Structure 1
């Protein structure tokens, strides 16, 4: 059993809608295009699919004609990212990508300042917002740093290994989501927002083509928010094992440890050191898969229950309510209503 989609906290959809509300955008149109009901939006503990989040972001881009989502000091007209991307696709190396990317935005929009610095064996791509008060929930910072990492990584055909990521704001309440976004430690209350990585990576050649870019842009931002979550070593190994399991419900820490050639005690200690737990990982995976399957109306809830390894639908219903505060049927009906 495997799943390529990871759910996204409702926090991010709520922040997007708050920004849209401040701009006076039509909320019913936005939620309708995303397939998110108001009742679901009002529950901060729920999660949505990457497809729903991507459709919401695209709708806000279109209605607001602003790729900075109303969170910048100046509107960034829709299409500017594509214009920049069509220039940098012809770059020879990652160094050229970051220089051209920064130069482009520094010329066309005063909402931010971008700069690539190299000191010794470290490269730092930094971003400073000229009016950070326009981004009170930090979503623009989070999204743009995510973009400055994932798009260049796509261009060179490999993930850029980050040493750390830094933000100029305090650690947020949704800090746990950062492990899904950035494959490295996060530092807060820093002078700027930045990505720090090995300077040797700047020599990596660009391998993508203009034809591949056209498809990439058509899918945006879906590909940027559906990358597999980044986890520490043993957390990742456990998740990989669970995703491959044909009997997720019957997976235990004992048989998982055996499959990973570890003792149960060693696996518990390794997960604890990484801030994880076996049951938490198993429940999180089942929750994300349930949300994904519930977004597909053709799959009966009884089938979802079996797919996730529950002995009976009532057991799945109890578990889903514990995870999200909602009944599976209520969640599906609310998602269908798009009100």
Structure 2
């Protein structure tokens, strides 16, 4: 199965703290298997495994789980210690209460505080003290980690109803559509995630052995892998599959498999800030990047695999997606592997 990919913006953003401390960021990238040269392309992307490794390299090198962006240094092991305390909780509500208490043990705490608003819960980001977060990665990563951690603990994807941000729409704001899968509000009073209050009573289903395995790759893995959960985007990706050399299922067939009308499905995808055509295009892009990194297929063969009968059409589409031709992309990957 092809890896999903992560925008090069988030790679550059994750390195902001390291750059500020004058660390050799090209060396950090290479340790994660990422070509610094390839990253210069406007549409550069890395696979989820590379991004996960980069997070681990940064934390190890900086000895700071806040990556030099937070109001204080967050010593390695802090996240794991918090998780070991959360595994004893009975419900998601008790998880959120205990995590908030844990975070407040530290000077200049960084917390996710929940508050009930009728039938909804707002999970509000609170940061006490100045941050170095010019590309917003620190705030974004906390929201993503907490949403996915909570979903993992209760064994079901928490469907977001809204995501709010106390800053203007950023240059990379289009990426938010594929991260949160819900209506987005910028220049809000607070940065918060809003979801149904019914999730608060959901039981924690994980045990300590599961948590031990989970912590081997988290929270890096939580940041690296797009969380599509119960979204229609994720369901459609699963129904389409990874073989574009065969005809792609049409929209009406997809709707019937999901037991909704085509009109309802279009409305749901609009609420998730995407479309059927975009889902297909992004699948093709990620699949092409996956195969280009493997070096065992000719570029013309990859074009057929991702659904292009004419190699020239594939070259144009790939350059539109990434800012580079397939050949230049593969050359950059190959040079990094040598």
Deviation at 1:4, TM superposition (A): 6.0
Q: Number of matched residues?
A: 332
The residue number in structure 1 matching 2:48 is 50
- 5 Å-filtered alignment, 1:99-110, equals 99-110=97-108
The residue number in structure 2 matching 1:324 is 322
2:16–2:69 contact (8 Å) kept in structure 1:
no
Counterpart Cα distance in 1 of 2:92 and 2:253: 42
- What secondary structure sits across from 2:15 in the alignment? helix
Deviation at 1:60, TM superposition (A): 0.7
Which shifted more, 10-19 or 118-127?
118-127
The residue number in structure 2 matching 1:337 is 335
2:113–2:124 contact (8 Å) kept in structure 1:
yes
Counterpart Cα distance in 2 of 1:109 and 1:304: 53
The reply on whether 1:154 has 2:114 as its aligned counterpart is no
1:33-82 deviation digits (Å, cap 9, x = unpaired) = 22222222222322211111111111111101111111111011111001
- 5 Å-filtered alignment, 1:1-339, equals 3=1, 5-131=3-129, 133-220=131-218, 221-229=220-228, 233=232, 239-243=237-241, 246-248=243-245, 250-251=247-248, 255-257=250-252, 260=255, 276-311=274-309, 313-338=311-336
Counterpart Cα distance in 1 of 2:52 and 2:199: 29
- What secondary structure sits across from 2:241 in the alignment? helix
Structure 2 unpaired stretches of 5+: none
Change (3 A) 1:269 1:62: closer
| TM-score, normalisation: structure 2 | 0.86
2:159–2:230 contact (8 Å) kept in structure 1:
no
Change (3 A) 1:248 1:117: same
Which shifted more, 38-47 or 147-156?
38-47
Counterpart Cα distance in 2 of 1:139 and 1:151: 18
Deviation at 1:196, TM superposition (A): 1.9
Structure 1 unpaired stretches of 5+: none
Counterpart Cα distance in 2 of 1:173 and 1:126: 23
1:152-178 deviation digits (Å, cap 9, x = unpaired) = 110110112222222221121222211
| TM-score, normalisation: structure 1 | 0.86
Counterpart Cα distance in 2 of 1:299 and 1:279: 26
Deviation at 1:105, TM superposition (A): 1.4
